[in-house]
Structure 1
């Protein structure tokens, strides 16, 4: 009986360990609860600014970029996401949005795929 209890405890411990490790590995650039494609929808107010470097950047766009930009790897993943590509986002223009919003704490020099945040 004691051997069965030890085996059961070992099995439970192993399952907990694996699920914990699996949870960490499954967390993407934007965390466990969302994906870059889901976050890209939040940047809908940035559509024209992400296609044309001369377009004005709205306050609602800047607010979303500021929020997502707190995690630079998430921001980059969003700007390079399939959703952004399908929306016609030009990544080379999109990476300029944090600077165009005059965000003080923007991740200057952060490598975003083949692009660098100015």
Structure 2
């Protein structure tokens, strides 16, 4: 009986690890840091709420804007922080791009998407 329980525990651990290591995170197989690199056109808009949001920025944000987990992971990523992104301002970009189907009210860390 003890051997069977040990087997079940090991099997459960293998199943959990297989689910974690499939390479799919908040943004699929791409890391949030890699996605953040693609948001270079958003730099000024992510630091100043009065700055115009360029069309190139809106196009990039729209790519993953329907996936609020990915959007949050990107905006809160180390790459975004290192580039001076202010998350409180950056989360307003989907609204400033006038996306009708943006994830309004989604909790993004300590911030809420407007």
State the TM bucket, normalised to the shorter chain: 0.7 to 0.9
- Measure how far apart 1:44 and its partner are: 0.7
1:64 matched residue in structure 2: 60
TM-score (norm 2): 0.82
- For the residue of structure 2 that corresponds to 1:55, the secondary structure is coil
Equivalent of 1:25, from 20, 25, 29?
20
Superposition TM-score, scaled by structure 1 size: 0.79
- Provide the aligned C-alpha RMSD in A: 1.6
Correspondence for 2:83 among 82, 87, 107: 87
Deviation at 1:72, TM superposition (A): 0.6
Mapped to 2, the partners of 1:45 and 1:22 lie a distance apart of 37
Residue 92 of structure 2 aligns with which residue?
96
Q: Please, which runs of 5 or more residues in structure 1 have no aligned partner?
A: 1-13
Which moved further from structure 2: 66-75 or 92-101? 66-75
> Could you tell me which residue of structure 1 aligns to residue 6 of structure 2?
none
Unaligned runs of 5+ residues in structure 2 are 1-10
Distance of 1:21 and 1:72 partners within structure 2: 24
Higher helix residue share? 1
Identify the residue that residue 10 of structure 1 maps to in structure 2. Answer: none
* Alpha-carbon offset, residue 24 of structure 1: 3.0
Which one has a bigger Cα radius of gyration?
A: 1
Distance across 2 between alignment mates of 1:84 and 1:23: 29
